[in-house]
Amino acid sequence: MTIEATAEIPLYAKRGISLIRGEGMYLWDADGRRYLDAMSNYGVNILGHSHPAVDSAVETQLKRLISCHQSFYNDARASFEQALTERLPAALTRLSYANSGAESIEAAIKFARAATGKQRVIAATRGYHGRTIGALSVTSGDKHRLPFEPLLAGCEHVPYDDVDALSTVIRGAGAVLLEPIQGEAGVFVPAAEYLTAVRRLCNENGALLILDEVQTGMGRTGTFLASEQQGTIPDILCLSKGIANGLPMGVTVVSTEVAERIPAGSHGSTFAGNPLACAAGRATIESVTEDLLEGVRTNGSRFVQRLKQIEAPLIREVRGRGLMCAVELRTRVTPLLKSLQERGVLALPAGGRTIRLLPPLIAEWSHLETIADTLADALAELSQ
Ligand SMILES: Cc1ncc(COP(=O)(O)O)c(C=O)c1O
């Protein structure tokens, strides 16, 4: 049974089932069929579904206050800010609220322009930053961009993981905007020294470094921020997706120097900083413990090894860091996604030929083993 929402503009290719309930690592459809979650709703439900700490924080806040404009102080917002800033590099002191990843990028572009007085932003080919006009301007790829051109002036793209290419264009730029690992593109992990070299180039050329950790942040790669693994501290950091385990939320965090140059009243949003999202956000951040991160690192590297052991001629490459993994195929990905779904595992595409696996960070080894075994079975059948 599918419960169709018939008024929607058909912007999404639908997957043919109605998901109506979730608990832990599992989701259920309207027919009562259970699915193992290997996608976390595109990287959002890092603590799985119906997580007790998040549910209880939301329930408590629901009965107190669900909406509070940012012209007022609010206790849920204050405790969210304390919980978040404690987990971030000390240089990142101030934040602005958003309701999505794209909005957090919009704010980052605006703040970089305000702080530097410069218009140019350099992003990377294959990069994905969202689909509002500003975020789309730094996103790469004709499919998303062409129907909406002309986009924001001053946005350029250079090949990812290519320091020389960046060094030839960075002079005069206000900011460089990158994902520490490219997610939507198919989980591309750059060379270990890439971010450090980008940081150095930014410093030498007076450009700000904006890191988009919308997908990589919140423990996805085994540390709270992926950029921690290179010891790189951005001037502006974007977080969203997993930050409130499913409630719509984004934040743009900036250094004190950047914050001081953002004019009062120059940015805002009615719903942003919503107390319900903040309560969920605090509970989520507190649940991303050192133990959980350790589990992501251990399970993640074991999972990638296990995926690499699958003997299937259709596999071109396996990539990953923590629980952000991809299996690139030699063929289109849709039949495999469909077969996995029929076998009770929900995974994601990345580009046309890659399966992306973003299971909740609470996954136990047995769940990951089931995902890998199901993938092996589905690939074996498709190869016949
Ligand atoms: C790295 C990155 N940045 C930004 C976005 C945009 O987030 P949203 O879809 O919440 O606007 C995404 C979404 O997939 C993303 O992966």
pLDDT in tens, 212-246: 999 999 999 999 999 999 999 999 999 999 999 99
How close is the Cα of 42 to the center of ligand 1, in Å?
9
* Mean per-residue pLDDT over the chain, rounded: 97
Around ligand 1, the residues with Cβ closer than 6 Å are 42, 100-102, 105, 128-130, 179, 183-184, 212, 214-215, 240
Tell me: the pLDDT tens digits for 117-140?
999 999 999 999 999 999 999 999
The enclosing domain of 127 has a CATH number of 3.40.640.10
Ligand 1 atom at shortest distance from the alpha carbon of 130: 6
Judgement on whether residues 283 and 321 belong to the same structural domain of the protein = no
Judgement on whether residues 265 and 144 belong to the same structural domain of the protein = yes
Residue 383: the pLDDT is: 87
How close is the Cα of 350 to the center of ligand 1, in Å?
13
Total domains in the chain come to 2
What sign does the dihedral 286-86-230-92 (CA atoms) show?
positive
Q: Which of 287, 302, 332 is the last residue of a domain?
A: 287
Judgement on whether residues 258 and 324 belong to the same structural domain of the protein = no
Strand spans (E) along the chain: 19-23, 26-29, 34-37, 92-98, 121-124, 155-158, 175-178, 208-212, 236-239, 250-255, 315-321, 324-329, 345-346, 348-350, 354-357
Judgement on whether residues 276 and 347 belong to the same structural domain of the protein = no
How close is the Cα of 254 to the center of ligand 1, in Å?
19
Judgement on whether residues 187 and 238 belong to the same structural domain of the protein = yes
The enclosing domain of 367 has a CATH number of 3.90.1150.10
Q: Which of 222, 253, 287 is the last residue of a domain?
A: 287
Is residue 108 assigned to a domain?
A: yes
Enclosing domain of residue 356:
19-51+290-383
How close is the Cα of 285 to the center of ligand 1, in Å?
19
Q: Which of 252, 287, 322 is the last residue of a domain?
A: 287
Residue 23 has pLDDT above 90, yes or no: yes
Residue 2 has pLDDT above 90, yes or no: no
Judgement on whether residues 186 and 65 belong to the same structural domain of the protein = yes
Give the separation between CA 335 and CA 333, rounded to whole angstroms.
6
Give the separation between CA 321 and CA 38, rounded to whole angstroms.
15
Residue nearest (by alpha carbon) to ligand 1 atom 13: 130
Is residue 5 assigned to a domain?
A: no
Global pTM? 0.98
